[in-house]
Amino acid sequence: MKVTLINYTPHPIETAFVAARTCYSADTPSNLWERSAADGEDKISPDRMHSLLDKVINSGHHSVLEHINFTFAIEGISRSCSHQLVRHRIASYSQQSQRYVKVASDAFVTPPTIAANPQAKKIFDDFIASVNRTYQKLLELGIPKEDARFVIPNAAKTNLVMTMNFRELYNVSQIRLCVRAQWEIRELFWKIKSELARHEELRGLADYLAPKCEILGYCPEHKSCGRYPTKEEVLGEK
């Protein structure tokens, strides 16, 4: 799996700050923008911008976070994982099509539980080899790619471009960074968080991405993984 942040809203903190200030200020957004993104003697200090953003995020007024967008190149995840990912509907996806692109013979994800079990690994590898033979034979018999792909398993790798705004990324991360999420999509979202953290100006935003227990202060599930106590344990209610 490879995740690359290929593009994002320039001046992201400034953009969210201008949006937040516009709601509560007589000042115009174009003027606020000048004083945020540009340098000048009346420039608003980065600390003040961070501080407002922190208040906004912690008190749950998240709509201003929608003005910050991220575009990721996501490569080599399984079709299982992509099927889960695209269920998050407040985002934009452009995914490699198995109707039009021939599946490569080496493009399959091996789950860690299988990789760690030599017997299972042998069975899995033999199976993938048979997938490749079968797929190839069907194509040779004139079956169109869109139908030959019916033999392609969930393990097949896929690539996609995803654009998601920071509000949604914050929400989805709470679910997908949780240990209850499947290992592959969990790894994907930890990589997304790392990608943000690699960029100096996005590090502050990356810090807000966390499993829901960290955000809420308790685990809302029936049983906790142990990281945080459950809501009932913390609040003493049912």
Nearest Cα to Cα of residue 72 among 166, 205, 181: 166
CB 191 within 8 A of CB 1: yes
- Please give the C-alpha separations between residue 233 and each of 203, 217, 218, in angstroms, as whole numbers: 33, 11, 9
Tokens of 56: 């906004």
Distance CA(51)–CA(104), nearest Å, equals 49
Nearer to its own copies, 5 or 197 (CB): 5
Catalytic annotation, pick one of 48, 176, 180, 186: 176
Nearer to its own copies, 208 or 218 (CB): 218
Nearer to its own copies, 102 or 199 (CB): 102
**Beta partners for residue 157, in sequence order:** 78
Q: How far is the CB of 157 from its own copies (least distance, A)?
A: 10
Nearest Cα to Cα of residue 72 among 198, 202, 196: 196
- Please give the C-alpha separations between residue 60 and each of 64, 79, 93, 204, in angstroms, as whole numbers: 11, 34, 27, 17
Nearer to its own copies, 64 or 206 (CB): 64
Distance CA(65)–CA(55), nearest Å, equals 12
Q: How far is the CB of 203 from its own copies (least distance, A)?
A: 19
Q: How far is the CB of 40 from its own copies (least distance, A)?
A: 15
Catalytic-residue membership of 176: yes
Q: How far is the CB of 183 from its own copies (least distance, A)?
A: 8
Which residue numbers are catalytic?
A: 176
